[in-house]
Structure 1
Amino acid sequence: MPTKSENTLKIAQQAFEYFTNGLETGNWQNFLDMLTDDFTFWFPMGEFHGLNTGKERAKEFFEYVSQAFQPGIKLTSLDNITSNEKTVIFEFRDEGKLFGQPYKNRVAVAFDVRDDKIYGYREYFGSDGKSY
């Protein structure tokens, strides 16, 4: 039987797969389906700066992300995964176009897992969003 840490990692890896697919395609439904009703997320800048609450707010945020990164952003490397019994952090590099301008960045996202769902998300990235 898997340990709590192993189960948390498995759920978070599935969510991360759906997350990166959303970044690439703009289809966030599978990721959104993994969120709890009391989901919260933290984002470091812009209209969504700080703590945000609820699946509807998350849907608005990820729609904004898709608009900002049209036609999509690609993960170029997964550099590290750190996990414990409730949180998994993915450190990765991605690139694409941000509002039509070339974009490359290093990003860390943390997923908090409860009952096979994601109940929290935090994102951290470089300050200018344009280079590693």
Structure 2
Amino acid sequence: MSQQENTKLALKYMGFLNTGEIDQALALASDDATFWHPLSGAVGKEELRITLKHAFGLMLTINNNVLSTTAEADRVSLELEFKADLSNGRTYENQYHFMFVIKDGKIHSLKEYVDSGPAKAAFF
């Protein structure tokens, strides 16, 4: 796939998450894809599905705003702002950096970089 096609795939993934369509987002990933987060480390697709469904169940509204995209070879980098109103009455706001590796038209790996402080304050 071209860098432009890879970028479209990464944006499509984020678009699905923005509307809470977790299964559709994960359908864009290979079955052996890995997902890394600073709090959980590397997990597989099914473990991420469970984690996302739990987290999204706590969110009343979701809005992610992509600030920038950069693509090179099989990698796509997205910088975004995220905001969610939570069922506990709090608002979660944070900035994220996602690094996608795309192979054969599927997300092969995804690393999520985020400040864990705002997440802990909002969710816990």
After TM superposition, which residue ranges in structure 1, 4 or more long, deviate above 4 angstroms? none
Counterpart of 1:37? Answer: 31
Residue 56 of structure 2 aligns with an amino acid whose one-letter code is S
What TM-score, normalized by structure 2, do the two folds share? Answer: 0.81
Structure 2 gaps, min length 5 = 120-124
1:46-125 to structure 2, matched below 5 A, reads: 49-53=40-44, 55-68=45-58, 70-75=59-64, 77-98=65-86, 100=88, 101-125=90-114
What TM-score, normalized by structure 1, do the two folds share? Answer: 0.77
Distance in 2, Cα, partners of 1:16 & 1:64: 22
Whether the 8 Å CA contact 1:15–1:31 is kept in 2: the answer is no
Please give the root-mean-square deviation of Cα atoms over the aligned residues, in Å. 2.2
Shift of 1:56: 1.4
Q: What percent identity do the matched residue pairs reach?
A: 24
- The answer as to 2:7 corresponding to 1:17 is no
Q: What is the count of residue pairs matched by the alignment?
A: 119
Distance in 2, Cα, partners of 1:20 & 1:128: 25
Which one has the bigger strand percentage? 2
